[in-house]
Amino acid sequence: MDNPNSTDIDLEGIDLEEFLAHPHWEVMDSEPDALTRQLPKRANKFWRTTILTWIYLQRGVATFVDLADRLDGVESVSMRKRMLRRVLRSMEKSRLITIVNFPDEEGEAFDEGDEVVGGFSVISITWTGMVWMRRAWNARMSLARTTSLEVAHETICEEEDSIKGNDLYWVENLNGADREGVKVAIREIKAKHPRVNSVFDLGNFQKK
């Protein structure tokens, strides 16, 4: 069954310059933005914030092939692609990204069910993905004051992607169409979590 969040479109007649002028991407505040630029261009694991940051640094749009080539420690190209597909599907389900599939002129073979993400797929950050980025990098900004960015990033990634951790508790109410209700939702979350219970709370308590 096709992924309802993915859209197959034809390149013919598409103004790529206009397409790549991403509607949700925008530069974050100077300090977290500067930190994102210190993140290595390669990694040993496909953490969600790492992927979002790579996309952010390319003005909100990246290709599947570019992202797959950034994983170290896995020699098999097909294994790297399989690992990335799994993470991207999870991120798309959480509405952190959208995936647009362009025609595959080379007819690349996919594993069964993997055709929704392939060599000609373009990965695009969403409005919710930008909210995640601001929260995630504000948290890293706090920890990076007492340790290295590398340690801060890896430590927080462990919690962000942990099954036992707080998985999108602050993003859940952002997935609806009522964006005006977001401020109310955030206030309710803060009221329920007055203490710093996770790395996301560190981001929340940064000055606005």
pLDDT digits (tens, 9 = 90+) for 101-138: 876 555 554 444 445 677 778 999 999 899 899 989 98
Distance from C-alpha of 67 to C-alpha of 87, rounded to nearest angstrom: 11
User: What are the Cα distances from residue 177, in Å, to 7, 30, 181, 182, 203?
Assistant: 19, 29, 9, 10, 24
- pLDDT(83) > 90: yes
pLDDT at 147: 87
Task: Please give the mean pLDDT across all residues of the chain.
Answer: 75
Q: What is the mean pLDDT of residues 90-111?
A: 73
- pLDDT(47) > 80: yes
- pLDDT(143) > 60: yes
pLDDT digits (tens, 9 = 90+) for 145-190: 888 999 989 988 888 887 554 455 545 444 454 555 555 655 565 5
pLDDT at 200: 59
Distance from C-alpha of 4 to C-alpha of 28, rounded to nearest angstrom: 30
Distance from C-alpha of 154 to C-alpha of 152, rounded to nearest angstrom: 6
Helix residue ranges per DSSP H, the chain: 16-20, 30-36, 48-56, 64-68, 77-93, 127-143, 149-160, 182-192, 199-204
Spatial contact of 50 and 43, defined as CB atoms under 8 Å apart: yes
